[in-house]
Every structure is written in C-alpha cells, then in structure tokens.
C-alpha cells in the first residue's frame, strides 16, 4: 500500500518548515494543506484536539502533532532514507537536547523582539544574540551541527532564519555582524534544495509580521 502523507500547515510557520524540509530530505511525496488559523479546518481540530495547532503530519490517516515529534516520526518510519539523526545513542540525545534548546529559546526570544519595545526588547535582543552565540560554539568548525551531514538540529533551527529580517528590522540590529559563523552556516543550509525550496522569502515573512503587529495594535 502506498503511503498517504498529508501536512496541515501555515506558510510562515518555522515549525511547519521543519516538517517540509524533512519530507524533502527523505524524498517523500505529500499533500500540503494550508490552514487559515483564524478559521481552522475540521480536519485540523480533529487531528490535533489538544492544542488545535499546526503543523500536523497525517500518515495513512494517523495524525502526529508537534514539529520535532513529527520530524523524529518521519526519521523512524523512513529510517532507510537519508538518516537525519546519528546512530550513536549519546549523539542522538545531544541532538535532541539542542533541538529542544532551539524550541525553548529561539522562538520565544524572537517573538519578544518584534512584540515588545524599550527595555524589554533590549533584554530580548541581548538574550537572543547570546543564544545564537552559544549555538555557534556548538557548531564550532563543523559544516553542520551533526558534522559533515545535514541533520536534526539543522532542521530544527534553520527555519527561524526566515524571521530574521523581521527581528532585525523591529529590533534595529544586525544578526550577521553579531554572529557571522551562524549566518555562514545558514548560507550552507540554503545551498540544499530541500531547505531553499521549503523556506519562504524572509521579505514575505517580514510583511506578514507587519500585518500581525497592526492587528495586535503594535505600531
């Protein structure tokens, strides 16, 4: 039986981008369904009744929620295609730790940069740059976070690059001047078709953020 794979997603979601990149890396054909988050589809509400959030991966009618869990699920099911996690249990645990760090730090701090002002924004910017510098240390002189091969931590992190123009514009700072090694890693990732074709244009994301700011009353 052919695998039926559906992705419920929303184009600017860095979490959805993770699954798009993973499916591309594994060469898996899937149906993409764009969700209207202000008018969520019955399929989304039925597939993720707990959080009611995108992205949701649906494999042969079974929903898998939460992006990193979905990426690991794809890795487990299609383990014979282009492995994204190392085979060594310790290195696998380390990769999961840093992906979790990205979830806990990068998203929240980035959001604070474009939703706050004054001292709160300055503190978020400082902490955001510190988080990226720590990730730079983990990267070291390696091509990718896992070494020579693009993998789990890269997939967890690189989608946030699409939001950097918004962070920089509203935060009035330059990420490349603060973290040049980090941006060099982003550029290496973007050379991969699985990444470049899965990520939207940062200018388009910036325009989306402008609209959200208007909607929530931030000028």
| Alpha carbons 132 and 107: distance in angstroms, whole number | 12
Task: Let me know: does 71 contact 156? Beta carbons within 8 Å.
Answer: yes
Mean of the pLDDT values across residues 148-170?
Answer: 97
pLDDT (tens digit, 9 = 90+) per residue, 19-35?
999 999 999 999 999 99
pLDDT at 2 over 90: no
Percentage of the residues of the chain whose pLDDT score is greater than 90: 95
Give the pLDDT band (50/70/90) at residue 136: very high
Check residue 40 and report its DSSP letter: -
Task: Let me know: does 57 contact 7? Beta carbons within 8 Å.
Answer: yes
Model confidence, pTM: 0.96
| Alpha carbons 146 and 138: distance in angstroms, whole number | 10
Q: What is the pLDDT of residue 217?
A: 84
Q: Please give the structure tokens belonging to residue 48.
A: 């993720």
| Alpha carbons 202 and 197: distance in angstroms, whole number | 13
């Amino acid at each position: 039986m052919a695998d039926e794979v559906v992705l419920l997603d929303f184009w600017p979601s860095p979490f959805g981008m993770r699954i798009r990149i993973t499916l591309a890396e594994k060469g898996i054909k899937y149906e993409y369904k764009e969700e209207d988050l202000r008018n969520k589809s019955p399929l989304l509400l039925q597939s993720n009744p707990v959080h009611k959030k995108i992205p949701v991966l649906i494999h042969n009618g079974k929903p898998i929620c939460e992006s990193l869990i979905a990426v690991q699920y794809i890795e487990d099911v299609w383990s014979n295609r282009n492995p994204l996690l190392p085979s060594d249990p310790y290195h696998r645990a380390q990769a999961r730790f840093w992906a979790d760090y990205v979830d806990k730090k990068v998203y929240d701090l980035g959001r604070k940069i474009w939703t706050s002002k004054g001292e709160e924004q300055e503190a978020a910017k400082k902490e955001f740059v510190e988080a990226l510098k720590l990730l730079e240390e983990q990267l070291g002189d390696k091509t990718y976070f896992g070494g020579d091969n693009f993998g789990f931590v890269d997939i967890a992190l690189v989608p946030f690059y699409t939001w950097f123009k918004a962070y920089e514009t509203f935060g009035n700072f330059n990420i490349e001047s603060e973290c040049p090694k980090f941006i060099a890693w982003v550029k290496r990732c973007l050379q991969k078709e699985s990444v470049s074709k899965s990520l939207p244009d940062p200018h388009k994301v910036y325009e989306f953020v402008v609209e959200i700011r208007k909607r929530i009353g931030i000028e």
